[in-house]
Structure 1
Amino acid sequence: MRSPIIIAHRGASGYRPEHTLESYTLAIELGADFIEPDLVISRDGHLIARHENNITETTDVAERAEFATRKTSKIIEGKTVTGWFSEDFTLAELKTLRAKERLPFRNQTYNGQFQIPTFQEILQLAQQKTQETGREIGIYPETKHPSYFQSIGLSLEEPLVEILEDFGYTSPNSPLFIQSFEIANLKKLNHLIDVPLVQLLGEKNQQPYDFVLQGDKRTYQDLTTPAALSQIADYADAIGPSKRLIIPQAQDSQLLPPTPLIQEAHRVGLKVHAWTFRTEACFLAPEYQNQPEREYQQFFQLGVDGVFSDFPDVAFKVRQS
């Protein structure tokens, strides 16, 4: 697999409704090395791909009269959230829903066409496309809100490990990375299965939610010090930092000089997979002059080992050049 790897963020989510088999399939066609499902869980314990357990923005659930009474409010990671939640539906019910595009400035023409996939269906797709294309298609699942799901008795880790074992993803060489913004569940996974793990790092002032629960005041910025990276290397194989931890931005959106994060992570044996690369002008720093290729070029030159992209074809084109 060529480096830097191209991770299709929620599939080819710039072109198709995110976390659908159609989005992942297109991503593979566009050159992605890995497809990235965010995993939440159904009431009956099935792992499905949605960015959030609140499925209001990414499905047609709000238009479905039969589910009107399921609308509710919950406290998720300290915030009150209102909507419809994966854990209040069986898999059979979730399968009756259809995906829709979350961002209003992206293509809405596929709304209502695609199902919510299970994790097993995504693994089947990756293995099928590996056979068809002759190139290894990797899987890059993220466990979403692990502390929350643990608290309601629907732990994500055990079913995840069981499915991976069923599909033969059990070694450090498996075409797989499991990622999380929390720490405790990655450490748990490190004991449950011997596959590559990725510590995600959010914006500098944000905190891992398990730290919040423990009263630990450290932020993601605090996890980028050489000492903290060395601790991460004890249980993880890579970090997945926000781009802004590598190239910070000033208040006026101007880019600041790069931090030493990539070099310091490499020094302790951690790979660096940065997120998220998008082509729309609203996501690009002014210096790139509406040319998303420039952003990839800058990060590739800094030495990242992978990029999460909504537009894997653009990442592929820059890597080829």
Structure 2
Amino acid sequence: MKILRPLLIVPFILSACFASESHAMEQPLEGKVIVIAHRGASGERPEHTLASYRLAIEQGADYIEPDLVLTKDGVLVARHENEISETTDVADKAEFADRKVTKIIDGQKMTGWFTEDFTLAELKTLRAKERLPQLRKANMAYDGQFEIPTFDEILALAKEASKTTGRTIGVYPETKHPSYFTAIGLPHEGALLAALTQYGHVDKKAPVFIQSFEVENLKALRSKTQLRLIQLMDAKGSPADRSDLTYPQMASAQGLKTIATYADGIGPNKALIIPRTVLGNLGDPTSLVADAHKVGLAVHPWTFRRENYFLPLAQKSGVDPREVGDLDTEIKAFLATGIDGIFSDNVTEAVAARSH
């Protein structure tokens, strides 16, 4: 999933001052809306760490979501981006100072340290840190405690948790920048499917969804696996591998019909389901959910977060972007549209909203 870069506090405060103002797909939980722990319990622990995933499972998540990138030696690891200076202590490691480089990733110039320039053994010497310290200061208490996990370690955690909790804990991996990694000789598909097969995940009954913002990656996977595939869609822009196609076009009725030929569902930016008004309140729902269900696609919007910074205007608790607002009301508005799952950084709140 994507997220904003440096936070602009003043515009937030100014906007807050106006506060006065059944589809065909088989559901793994017998029709219940699924809760997907976005990068684990990332609202309470540094994201993409085993500690974050464990906490999410304890809080009741149905699926844990790792974003997957590759190491120099072809191992899948969980990071939001292949550039890791925001989420690890790599910049503090003198022995890796010469690995800092500038690259073009999906058309964007990025400077930093990249997973594909490190072996797994080297990455394991790093420690995770909170990616949003301006919003989640409490999470910084865990900086330096946790390793970068491999996909295999995450699958093992889900398997063990399924045994100990008596609940099936699913995995919801995202292939990050798949065309870029393929271009440098490190494609996701082989390692991804091999790991999932090792854990017995081979068909639509498996508690697995594979997601991607790109298109051709999913089409290639469709020819190689029966596992459920999810086409991610942002509110604007285009897939990195399809400049001829915009996400809004993909969200149209005709676009959804095309997606249904290779995927089992969509993961839209929640603004495609309920846009916000000029003042930042929830507006009227679009027809996206109904249109997707007509062609047999599940709908799992992203991302639901409890901090005021991310909430609609009417659900903010005040002007401090770090404080907790009314996430429950926002989630319930989306549940009323008939969605099939939600991505959330805050599993406890998401599970509670679903249960009401």
Output the TM-score relative to the length of structure 1. 0.97
Moved over 4 A (4+): none
Count of residues paired in the alignment: 316
State the secondary structure of the residue aligned to 1:239.
strand
1:101 counterpart = 2:136: no
**For residues 63 and 252 of structure 1, what CA distance do their matches in structure 2 show?**
42
Aligned residue number for residue 205 of structure 2:
173
User: How many Å apart are 1:83 and its aligned residue?
Assistant: 0.3
Q: 1:170-228 deviations in whole A, cap 9, x for unaligned?
A: 0110000000000000000001111000000112x21001112xxx1x21011111111
Aligned residue number for residue 116 of structure 1:
148
Residue in structure 2 matching 1:234, options 252, 261, 268:
261
User: How many Å apart are 1:262 and its aligned residue?
Assistant: 0.3
State the secondary structure of the residue aligned to 2:242.
helix
Aligned residue number for residue 119 of structure 2:
90
1:268 counterpart = 2:303: no
CA RMSD of aligned residues (A): 0.9
User: How many Å apart are 1:288 and its aligned residue?
Assistant: 2.2
User: How many Å apart are 1:43 and its aligned residue?
Assistant: 0.2
What fraction of aligned residue pairs are identical, expressed as a percent? 55
Paired residues of 2:279 and 2:313 also in contact (CA < 8 A): no
Q: Quick one: which amino acid aligns to residue 112 of structure 2?
A: G
1:210 counterpart = 2:245: no
Aligned residue number for residue 248 of structure 1:
275
**For residues 180 and 165 of structure 2, what CA distance do their matches in structure 1 show?**
38
1:24 counterpart = 2:59: no
**For residues 310 and 158 of structure 1, what CA distance do their matches in structure 2 show?**
29
User: How many Å apart are 1:302 and its aligned residue?
Assistant: 1.1
Paired residues of 2:231 and 2:266 also in contact (CA < 8 A): yes
**For residues 276 and 182 of structure 2, what CA distance do their matches in structure 1 show?**
35
Residue in structure 2 matching 1:52, options 81, 93, 98:
81
**For residues 168 and 161 of structure 2, what CA distance do their matches in structure 1 show?**
8
State the secondary structure of the residue aligned to 2:227.
coil
User: How many Å apart are 1:265 and its aligned residue?
Assistant: 0.4
Q: Quick one: which amino acid aligns to residue 292 of structure 1?
A: L
Q: Quick one: which amino acid aligns to residue 84 of structure 1?
A: W
1:200 counterpart = 2:229: no
Q: 1:57-112 deviations in whole A, cap 9, x for unaligned?
A: 00000001110110000000111100000000000000010000000121200000
Aligned residue number for residue 339 of structure 2:
304
Q: Quick one: which amino acid aligns to residue 191 of structure 2?
A: P
1:279 counterpart = 2:306: yes
Aligned residue number for residue 15 of structure 2:
none
State the secondary structure of the residue aligned to 1:211.
coil
User: How many Å apart are 1:145 and its aligned residue?
Assistant: 0.3
Unaligned runs of 5+ in 1: none
Q: 1:232-288 deviations in whole A, cap 9, x for unaligned?
A: 111111100000000112343233211000011001100000100000000001122
**For residues 110 and 255 of structure 2, what CA distance do their matches in structure 1 show?**
32
User: How many Å apart are 1:162 and its aligned residue?
Assistant: 1.1
1:130 counterpart = 2:162: yes
Which range moved further: 25-34 or 220-229? 220-229
**For residues 30 and 166 of structure 1, what CA distance do their matches in structure 2 show?**
27
Unaligned runs of 5+ in 2: 1-28, 317-324
Which range moved further: 311-320 or 133-142? 311-320
State the secondary structure of the residue aligned to 2:230.
strand
**For residues 287 and 234 of structure 1, what CA distance do their matches in structure 2 show?**
39
1:138-153 maps to which residues of 2 (within 5 A)? 138-153=170-185
Paired residues of 2:72 and 2:116 also in contact (CA < 8 A): yes
Q: 1:122-167 deviations in whole A, cap 9, x for unaligned?
A: 0000000000000000000000001110111111111111111111
State the secondary structure of the residue aligned to 2:64.
strand
